[in-house]
Amino acid sequence: MTETMRAQWYERYGRPGGVLESRMIERPSPGPGQVLVKVHATSVQPLDWHLMTGEPRVMRVGMGLRRPSRNIPGADVAGTVESIGEGVTRFRVGDEVLGEVGGGGCAEYLAAPERRLVAKPDSVSFEEAAAVPVAGLTALQGLRDWGRQEAGQEVLIIGASGGVGTYAVQVAKALGARVTGVCSPRNVETARDLGADDVIDYTVSDYAATGRRYDLIFDVAGKKALSALQRLLVPGGTYVGIGGPKGPWVGPLPRVARMKVRSLFASRRMTFGIAAAKQEDLETLADLLGRGVIRSVIDRNYKLDETAAAVEYIGEGHAKGKVVVTI
């Protein structure tokens, strides 16, 4: 008899509340090199909102022109290994894992390649672990790789209080920076608690008008004019963008193109990156998490059948830390 499982499922583009439904579907079994994970928690990101609404529409070229090619949200998972496929060497049944799996986390079980998973530190909950992968990878790769951050640098993090920003503040500190965080007033204390040396409330102060210059700007929000941001860099400094305007058709693409043009002849580099699910980077994050060097800030915790509300909320763009779904 076919075994089934509960999952959150959508097969047309639209607002989460209108297209996402609870379904019983066939439980996957692990293929060669795959691990079957009993999912305990997942987290949602702005990308889940974009993939579900099909906006910006340019994304549909790669994600399904008429209907979405991905049906279950949730790229981050934390859970327990239920069974393993042929050739799996890193994990055994019963191991607790976390990982970045590209989608499918909003379900009771998930079959994932073992290279997308790492061991979950014992000291953190499944929710705290599920919050990390995409946001943590973006912060780590953005600062260390695209931004080439060095110890002692002045780093400005614009959007220091959301999913990516809360990890970015902690990772930048762990890499030895002096960090200035930008956020709204309700999050100033959180940014300070996470280690930001200075915090600027963007609703009352213009962080581009303080006269200070930075070696590295990590911009989660992507809202300020690039000309103003480039002027905030010291010569040889770097601006790293990861997000941008929401727009229904092309989203951040024009901004990304302008960054490239602005970098052509300038000593102040501007770059945009997309995080990659590298196992060694997940290992680094799990290690930092296990040693308490970084921690997850969880804004809201939803149940599986409340996933639509979770995705609506993340789509508003003002989460305070991560939005988690417990299975």
- Residues at the site binding ligand NAP, with contacts judged by CB under 6 A: 45-47, 134-135, 138, 158-159, 161-165, 182-184, 187, 202, 220-221, 223, 242-243, 273-275, 314, 317-319
Q: Which is nearer to ligand NAP, 47 or 174 (CB)?
A: 47
Residue 50 CB, nearest approach to ligand NAP (Å): 7
CB 157 within 8 A of CB 172: yes
Q: Which is nearer to ligand NAP, 72 or 242 (CB)?
A: 242
Q: Quickly tell me which residue has 């090619």 as its tokens.
A: 69
CB 75 within 8 A of CB 101: yes
Q: Which is nearer to ligand NAP, 110 or 275 (CB)?
A: 275
Q: Which is nearer to ligand NAP, 33 or 317 (CB)?
A: 317
Q: Please, how many CA atoms are within 13 Å of residue 265, restricted to the half-sphere of its CB? A: 0
Q: Which is nearer to ligand NAP, 119 or 256 (CB)?
A: 256
CA distance 199 to 191: 7
Using CB positions, name the residue nearest to ligand NAP: 162
Q: Quickly tell me which residue has 């999913």 as its tokens.
A: 163
Residue 301 CB, nearest approach to ligand NAP (Å): 14
Residue 164 CB, nearest approach to ligand NAP (Å): 4
CA distance 130 to 65: 30
CA distance 186 to 302: 22
Residue 35 CB, nearest approach to ligand NAP (Å): 24
List Cβ neighbours of 52 (8 Å cut-off, separation of 6 or more).
Answer: 10, 13, 14, 15, 16, 19, 20, 68, 73, 311
Residue 9 CB, nearest approach to ligand NAP (Å): 22
Residue 109 CB, nearest approach to ligand NAP (Å): 25
Q: Which is nearer to ligand NAP, 104 or 181 (CB)?
A: 181
Cα distances from 239 to residues 83, 220, 224, 318, 320, in angstroms, run 44, 11, 12, 22, 23
Q: Which is nearer to ligand NAP, 121 or 162 (CB)?
A: 162
CB 289 within 8 A of CB 296: yes
CA distance 100 to 132: 9
Residue 222 CB, nearest approach to ligand NAP (Å): 7
